[in-house]
Amino acid sequence: MLLTVTLNAALDLTYRVPRLRAHETNRVTEVAERPGGKGLNVARVLAALGHETVVTGLVGGATGAVLRTLLAASTGVRDELVPTAGTTRRTVAVVDASTGDTTQLNEPGPQITPGEWGAFLARYATLLSGAAAVALCGSLPPGLPVGAYADLIRRARAAGIPVLLDTSGEPLRRGIAARPDLVKPNAAELAQLTGSTEPVRAARDARRRGAGAVVASLGAEGMLAVTPDGAWRAAVPETIAGNPTGAGDSAVAGLLSALAEGLPWPSRLARAVALSAATVAAPAAGEFDRRTYDALLERVEPVALRSR
């Protein structure tokens, strides 16, 4: 079983407007609601890949109840979310139909109490015992210690479970010091962490800080893996047009599943790159296009980088 953790779950709303006019009244023509937060997105992709998948994290209030109802309708994801008194946040993606541009509004999330964090830790311990690998994903809600991910990483390592961390800022910095097996920052997050805008140098620095391996997403330039076994770069052979929402979460799903399967690093990287591109190609945000994925997986060829 693969486990994903979403501490700051969200009810994701997508609003389509003919043309977004700031400082005016906009009539929304289409509304879509789905369970959100990076870990839930990762889980949906894992389940679609055929993996037994469990989600945990924190969820509460009326929006939390809607999220759980929608989650129950997604096949193959088991809900082990822990309830909170506070209300799960919403995110609103406003898609301007005239340009395709998206304006994102993210609520901050509920205040988590020490008792709720304790209840989560107990559930996490139970779930870890049956997990082949765990992904810790996204921002921390208010009230949690900034070292919350570091704590979860230490517990996974103590249980002998491979652990992937996908977050940013201070929680990423603290998390890396707890020695996760893999982190997946984008170029900006890596630069913020290390002070270096050169991705290979920054990824090597992140490894020195404690990360077992670093897979950095470089947007249209594909991905970079810096690992104990060597360093590789991979990209899709042609430009993929579409919606990049969820591409990073699909990459995490590819990495986590390949990590659990014990595949070599070039195969892990190829899977992440192909899934990510197949998500950009899919018409619905956060879904992946299966045929694009299968076709790309055969064609993505990671290139080894010289060691320095």
Measured distance CA(297)–CA(260) in Å, rounded? 18
In terms of CB distance, is 104 or 197 closer to its own copies?
104
Q: Is 284:12 a contact under the CB 8 Å cutoff?
A: no
196 binds its own copies (CB under 8 A): no
> Which H helix or E strand runs over 215?
strand 213-217
Q: Could you say which DSSP state residue 221 is in?
A: G
Q: What is the DSSP string of 128-170?
A: HTT-SEEEEESPPPTTS-TTHHHHHHHHHHHTT--EEEE--HH
Stretch that binds its own copies, among 12-20, 117-125, 157-165, 247-255 (CB under 8 A): 12-20
**Any catalytic annotation for residue 229?**
no
In terms of CB distance, is 24 or 298 closer to its own copies?
24
Q: Which residue has the tokens 């939390």?
A: 64
Stretch that binds its own copies, among 94-102, 193-201, 243-251, 300-308 (CB under 8 A): 94-102
Positive or negative, the CA dihedral 156, 160, 166, 171 is: positive
In terms of CB distance, is 25 or 129 closer to its own copies?
25
Looking at 31, 32, 97, 295, which residue binds its own copies (CB under 8 A)? 31
Closest approach, Cβ 71 to its own copies, in A, equals 14
Closest approach, Cβ 1 to its own copies, in A, equals 30
107 binds its own copies (CB under 8 A): yes
22 binds its own copies (CB under 8 A): yes
198 binds its own copies (CB under 8 A): no
Q: Is 50:62 a contact under the CB 8 Å cutoff?
A: no
23 binds its own copies (CB under 8 A): yes
For the annotated catalytic residues, the residue numbers are 249
